[in-house]
Amino acid sequence: MTRRSTPDFRAEDGVALALAIATMAVMLVIAGALFIEANYLSARSSRDTASERAFQVADAGIEVATHRLNWLVPLPAQCITTSVQAPGANGWCAETAPEAVGSRASYSYIVSKQLAANTPCAGTILPTSLIERCVVAIGRVGNVQRRVAARVAVLGPGTPAFSMGGLTATTKVKLESGADVDSDIGGNKEVAIGGGAVLHQPGRKITIGPRGKVKGCKVGCTYTRSATNAVVPQPDFADTATNNQNAILNTLGLGTIYDAATRTLTVPKGKTLALPAGVYNFCNYSFGDKSKIYAPSGGSARIYLDSVDRSITSPPVAPAPACPGTKNSFTAKGSATFLNPSFDPTKLQIFAWGRTGKKKKKAKVQKIEIPNAKGFAVVIIAPGSEIKFKSSGSVSGGIAADSIKIRKKMHFASDPRALAFLVDVAPGNYRMAWIECQPALDPASPNAGC
């Protein structure tokens, strides 16, 4: 009997061990690569976040500097830090000390005296400006820095409001589905177009700001990006809180529809108010279902919608609110509507101060409901307000606001008489245009690299 020999696998034990070690080495290399990539992506994400925050902080620095210009009121040959100062030989005040805003973020700014002709800054010289300055702000988050320059102007009387067209918004224009808009449209941050909206292109334009976006712009829809943001000037309310025709409203046969203590207009359900020509100033209004508010047949009605955030005193006197209470309300119910038989938009002018919540760190945009069960023409200038139409009735004229919402199946058409309308602006400095600069600041020439 012959014995068959069997292999001795013990001699190959080392091969299996070597394979296991090699496999583990490859896995460790892959894991190390993934770890390095994850760290890189995390660091990049953190830096991108810090960069975006630094830009926002720099933008806040521009806003603070503009506010302080309005509060401190320097002469044209002066500039400001946190107080009025004489400029240096370069025409600028010194850079302010960094002001912290939390989470390792801070801003500082530099303000010029009145700009001489052709001095570079953001945007171009405006024909209606009385004084223009350049403001440069630096935002810092950790070791990330971004720098922004803005042209700030004191505007003269007769300032245009519709720089981007019949619908001009400093934040957003929203067209709901089926809206029909025969007008140029512009929004600094966003234009949102609902499904089935009619835009009347190519004749009509859509314009967005330098960092804006367009949503819902489909086949056949085109838009352009502006080099500067649109500015909606703040109308001058002057003494309209006390010098107005409000009291006449209680003599028109509708009973007591005006409350002088709160400056509130209330038009009851189903009632008709024919506004005489003149100036009106309200802190609140409420229009009942099926109420009608007619524009004058002769002359114009100028309606000022006031705010608890507006002060009727000037610096350095402490602010005194133009309206009582803590908020304003402008509402319309059901089928309430304005009516303007002449269809001349300048016959019905609505100016809103906007923004409520004077005790909050950041004021909310004031919402204003415009009753439009029937068609009418109007000029609305409301830089601190959101304009919301209550119904789907046709409207013509021009609307310039913080944000604008055009309802479903509503028709809006711009009117040349509205686009040519010039508004007297409230005293103060307005941010007109901005541009981002190279991060590094040259103290001798703060707007260099912009």
Q: What is the percent of the chain where pLDDT is above 90? A: 64
Q: What is the pLDDT of residue 205?
A: 93
Q: What is the pLDDT of residue 208?
A: 93
- pLDDT, average across residues 422-444: 88
Ordered DSSP codes for 181-229: EES-EEESSEEEE-TT-B--TTTS-EEE-TT-EEES--TT---EE-SS-
The token pair at 102 is 């939390």
Q: Are residues 224 and 95 in the same domain?
A: no
Q: Residues for the chain: how many in total?
A: 450
Min mean pLDDT across 42-56, 95-109, 191-205, 436-450 is at 42-56
Residue 87, preceding bond cis, omega within 30 degrees? no
d(CA 293, CA 389): 15
Q: What is the percent of the chain where pLDDT is above 70? A: 89
**Does 359 have pLDDT greater than 60?**
no
Provide the residue range defining the domain that includes 259: 159-424
Condensed to tens digits (0 to 9), the pLDDT of residues 409-418 reads 999 999 999 9
Contact 366, 356 (CB under 8 A): yes
pTM: 0.78
Q: Are residues 412 and 357 in the same domain?
A: yes
For residues 270 and 435, which has the higher predicted lDDT (pLDDT)?
270
Q: What is the pLDDT of residue 286?
A: 98
Q: What is the pLDDT of residue 221?
A: 87
Query: What is the three-class DSSP state of 269?
Result: coil
d(CA 359, CA 31): 54
- pLDDT, average across residues 238-243: 93
Q: What is the pLDDT of residue 159?
A: 86
- pLDDT, average across residues 228-252: 92
Q: What is the pLDDT of residue 41?
A: 58
For residues 358 and 6, which has the higher predicted lDDT (pLDDT)?
6
Domains of the chain: total? 2
Q: Are residues 185 and 267 in the same domain?
A: yes
d(CA 243, CA 248): 12
**Quick check: is 39 in a domain?**
no
**Does 374 have pLDDT greater than 60?**
yes
Q: Are residues 324 and 377 in the same domain?
A: yes
Condensed to tens digits (0 to 9), the pLDDT of residues 296-311 reads 988 999 999 999 988 8
Q: In whole numbers, what is the pLDDT of the chain averaged over residues?
A: 88
Condensed to tens digits (0 to 9), the pLDDT of residues 101-146 reads 988 899 999 999 999 877 888 877 666 678 999 999 999 999 999 9
Query: What is the three-class DSSP state of 382?
Result: strand
Q: What are residue 35's phi and psi, to 5 degrees?
A: -65, -45
Q: Are residues 139 and 163 in the same domain?
A: no
The token pair at 270 is 């189903």
Residue 316, preceding bond cis, omega within 30 degrees? yes
Reported confidence tier of residue 435, pLDDT bands at 50, 70, 90: confident
Q: Are residues 265 and 314 in the same domain?
A: yes
Torsion of CA 338, 343, 346, 350, to 10 degrees: 20
Q: Are residues 370 and 260 in the same domain?
A: yes
Condensed to tens digits (0 to 9), the pLDDT of residues 21-46 reads 777 877 777 776 676 766 655 556 66
d(CA 260, CA 234): 25
N-term to C-term CA, the chain: 100
Q: What are residue 398's phi and psi, to 5 degrees?
A: -155, 140
Reported confidence tier of residue 361, pLDDT bands at 50, 70, 90: very low
Strand 84-85 and strand 79-80: the pairing is: antiparallel
Q: Are residues 225 and 252 in the same domain?
A: yes
Strand boundaries in 54-161, DSSP class E: 79-80, 84-85, 99-102, 105-111, 129-141, 144-155, 159-160
**Quick check: is 21 in a domain?**
no
Q: What is the pLDDT of residue 434?
A: 84
**Quick check: is 444 in a domain?**
no
Condensed to tens digits (0 to 9), the pLDDT of residues 165-204 reads 999 999 999 999 999 999 999 999 999 999 889 999 888 9
Q: Are residues 263 and 390 in the same domain?
A: yes
**Quick check: is 449 in a domain?**
no
**Quick check: is 391 in a domain?**
yes
Q: Are residues 222 and 312 in the same domain?
A: yes
Reported confidence tier of residue 358, pLDDT bands at 50, 70, 90: very low
Q: Are residues 212 and 325 in the same domain?
A: yes
Condensed to tens digits (0 to 9), the pLDDT of residues 260-293 reads 999 999 999 999 999 999 999 999 999 999 999 9
Q: Are residues 147 and 163 in the same domain?
A: no
d(CA 186, CA 79): 33
Select from 267, 261, 263, 291 the least CA-distant residue to 279: 263
d(CA 390, CA 401): 16
